[in-house]
Amino acid sequence: MNIKKLAAIDIGTNAIRLLINYVYEFKDAEPVFNKTALVRMPVRLGKDVFTENQISERNARRMVDVMKAFRLMMDIYEVEEYLAYATSAMRESENGKEILKQIKKKADIKVEIIDGETEARLIFTSELRKFLLNRNDYLYVDVGGGSTELTLLHCGKVAASKSFEIGTVRLMEGKVNPKVYPEMKKWTQAIAASYDVELIGSGGNINHIYKYSGIKLGKPMSDTYLRKTYKTIREMSFEERLRAFNMKPDRADVVEYALEIYMKMMKWSRAKKIHVPKIGISDGMIRALYEK
């Protein structure tokens, strides 16, 4: 048996994550991917970018410190290879490239800024493939802080994908272009006219709601449950969300916006249930790195 030690760093709009995976390789069997460590740092880049068009000096320093810590963790775990990708907030930041140069210089981590379509492809590279063993059609909805990626999966393959500049932090800050929701609706309804889809939800917010739903692992959530939960959360104060759902502060203030997007997607796609396999971009990055 051989063990590969790989890492993925996802610099998102609402948080920065490090996933370390051990991959167990066997002579006569498929490799086993073991999630060895997962660290999430609440550095909200989107608040800066969507209001000031750049990352503040404070958050730039925090980013560098986070990446220094991640470098130490990767060294301690003896990581052999890594990928580090930045998404929506860094794509739009005027000083993003300069900050990435500082990260390379001070933390020795090379970060690449990727587009929405690449995000969608990475997610499909993950363990999601095992989830798609049947012939159903799925619409994969990945809601982030700055953007939402939609991917149509037909017969286990990507048939169409589209990235929209709408996410939880962008909605909270009131920085969504009024044209985005109508464009998103038109695209989704066109898909629904040709395919009978079920939804797959991805993102920290839907994962957290699913965790506290009491639904048996592997079973989907209904549109009725999602609407009821959305109404409940909207009526709660910030403190009540922290207590009732044991949420982190930087999730409690945006979760209602995530559920708003998922509910609209269920309505426009005419889907009656949403699967939550708890698979994200970091998982896809590990897979892509291993296959490379």
Percentage of the chain exceeding pLDDT 90: 66
pLDDT of amino acid 199: 93
Is the pLDDT higher at 93 or at 126?
93
Q: Read off the pLDDT of each residue in 80-92 and give the average, rounded to a whole number.
A: 92
Query: What's the CA gap between 73 and 131, in Å, rounded?
Result: 31
pLDDT of amino acid 278: 80
Which pTM does this prediction carry?
Answer: 0.84
pLDDT at 289 over 90: yes
Indicate the pLDDT class of residue 218, thresholds 50, 70 and 90.
confident
pLDDT at 74 over 70: yes
Q: Is 2-114 a CATH 3.50.50.60 domain?
A: no
Give the CATH superfamily of 116-281: Exopolyphosphatase. Domain 2 (3.30.420.150)
pLDDT of amino acid 46: 86
Contacts 24+ apart (CB under 8 A), 184-189: 184/148, 184/150, 184/264, 184/268, 185/264, 185/268, 187/150, 187/162, 188/139, 188/150, 188/265, 188/268, 188/269, 189/268, 189/269
Indicate the pLDDT class of residue 132, thresholds 50, 70 and 90.
low
Q: Read off the pLDDT of each residue in 48-72 and give the average, rounded to a whole number.
A: 93
Is the pLDDT higher at 154 or at 86?
86
The domains of the chain are located at 2-114, 116-281
| Burial call 102-122: b when 16+ CB within 10 Å, e when fewer | ebeeebebebebbebebbbbb
- AA letter at 104: K
- AA letter at 166: I
